[in-house]
């Protein structure tokens, strides 16, 4: 059987044309077939505490990341996704914890992808990892809210009670520290028709679709609440009305471009939205009254639009 020479890999070969990896907000590193690190981006430095000069040339298991699962079992000697991807050439997705240089564990989502040589052999592997601390923190916060009956049971959003408390806290933060924020109030257009024509099950599905769209397209630290019935309210920390109105317009478009299928028909959904920023002498009552008036201005303008004031 003829001997096949396996192509070696070096940093210059791998880093050519991958400036996008250098600037990625996700941690990225590349190892050769021996799991020796040949590339380490700035985000990897930030997430792990290890600089590129400290790790380039080392193996990832050499007291650097020391990945473990939730039970504390090491991936380095068994079940390492990098090793598995190098062996079978298949991408892997894994939830794990890495060891920060300062000693604490950081929850991360990891994706490994192979790099192939000219003859189709795996010559290296890329690992992209994302800090999941905020996601886990959000999950813990939601669990805490649920235990305190602050979640809407249908949509999973925070309810009016929690929204009112968050608005009060935002007003206090603005008064003390000048932190700006805006309020978005959205109402599902012609919602009664969904219940009347299609039944309450479809009406519930519409509410859940809108809730998912608003949540998935907002930041983890923004407040997205079910205000009442078919209304939703958002508290968004942004510094000016232009950015806030752009965000609201984007949410409006996303909902309008969504639909539900019911009895072989597509059910279209739109929102009427009011948008306003906190003002110097605002109270909870004044800012809510203003954004509510703006919402109804959108209704009068034909619905499926955003009114700003």
Q: Give the pLDDT of residue 135.
A: 66
DSSP annotation of 8 reads P
> What pLDDT score does 262 carry?
76
Give the homologous superfamily in CATH for domain 11-131: PAS domain (3.30.450.20)
pTM score, two decimals?
Answer: 0.57
Distance between CA 110 and CA 301 in Å, rounded? 47
Phi, psi of 252, rounded to the nearest 5 degrees: -60, -45
Q: Where are the domains of the chain?
A: 11-131, 140-308
Spatial strand order of the sheet with 122-131 comes to 37-40, 27-32, 122-131, 105-116, 92-99
C-alpha–C-alpha distance, residues 174 and 63, integer Å: 45
* Per-residue pLDDT, 185: 98
Q: Please report the pLDDT score of residue 78 as a whole number.
A: 75
How many angstroms separate the CA atoms of 45 and 28, rounded? 9
What φ, ψ does residue 298 adopt, rounded to 5°? -65, -35
Residues of the chain below pLDDT 50: 1-8, 11, 15-17
What fold characterizes domain 140-308?
A: Alpha-Beta Plaits (3.30.70)
CA distance 270 to 254: 9
- The model's pLDDT over 211-267, given as tens digits with 9 standing for 90+, comes to 999 998 998 889 999 999 999 999 999 989 999 999 999 999 999 998 787 777 788
Residue 148's pLDDT is 66
Q: Report helix, strand or coil for 122.
A: strand
- Residue 223 pairs in a beta bridge with 235
């Amino acid at each position: 059987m003829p001997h096949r020479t396996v192509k070696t890999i070096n940093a210059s070969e791998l880093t050519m044309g991958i400036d996008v990896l250098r600037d990625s907000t996700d941690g990225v590193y590349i190892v050769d077939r021996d799991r020796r690190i040949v590339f380490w981006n700035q985000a990897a430095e930030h997430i792990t505490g290890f600089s590129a000069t400290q790790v380039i040339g080392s193996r990832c298991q050499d007291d650097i990341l020391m990945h473990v699962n939730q039970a504390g079992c090491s991936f380095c000697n068994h079940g390492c996704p990098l090793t598995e991807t190098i062996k079978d050439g298949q991408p892997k997705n894994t939830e794990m914890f890495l060891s920060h240089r300062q000693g604490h564990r950081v929850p991360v989502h990891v994706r490994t992808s192979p790099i192939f040589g000219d003859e189709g052999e795996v010559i290296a592997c890329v690992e992209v990892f994302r800090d999941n601390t905020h996601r886990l923190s959000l999950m813990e916060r939601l669990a805490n809210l649920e235990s305190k009956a602050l979640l809407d049971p249908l949509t999973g959003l925070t309810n009016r009670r929690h929204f009112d408390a968050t608005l009060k806290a935002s007003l206090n933060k603005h008064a003390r520290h000048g932190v700006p924020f805006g309020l978005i109030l959205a109402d599902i257009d012609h919602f009664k028709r969904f219940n009347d024509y299609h039944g309450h099950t479809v009406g519930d599905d519409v509410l859940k679709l809108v809730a998912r769209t608003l949540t998935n397209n907002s930041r983890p630290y923004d407040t997205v609440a079910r205000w009442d019935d078919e209304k939703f309210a958002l508290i968004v920390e942004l510094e000016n009305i232009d950015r806030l109105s752009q965000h609201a317009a984007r949410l409006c478009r996303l909902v309008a471009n969504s639909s539900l299928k019911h009895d072989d028909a597509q059910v279209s959904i739109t929102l009427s939205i009011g948008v306003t920023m906190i003002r110097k002498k605002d109270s909870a009552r004044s800012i809510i009254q203003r954004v509510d008036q703006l919402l109804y201005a959108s209704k009068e303008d034909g619905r499926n639009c955003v009114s700003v004031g």
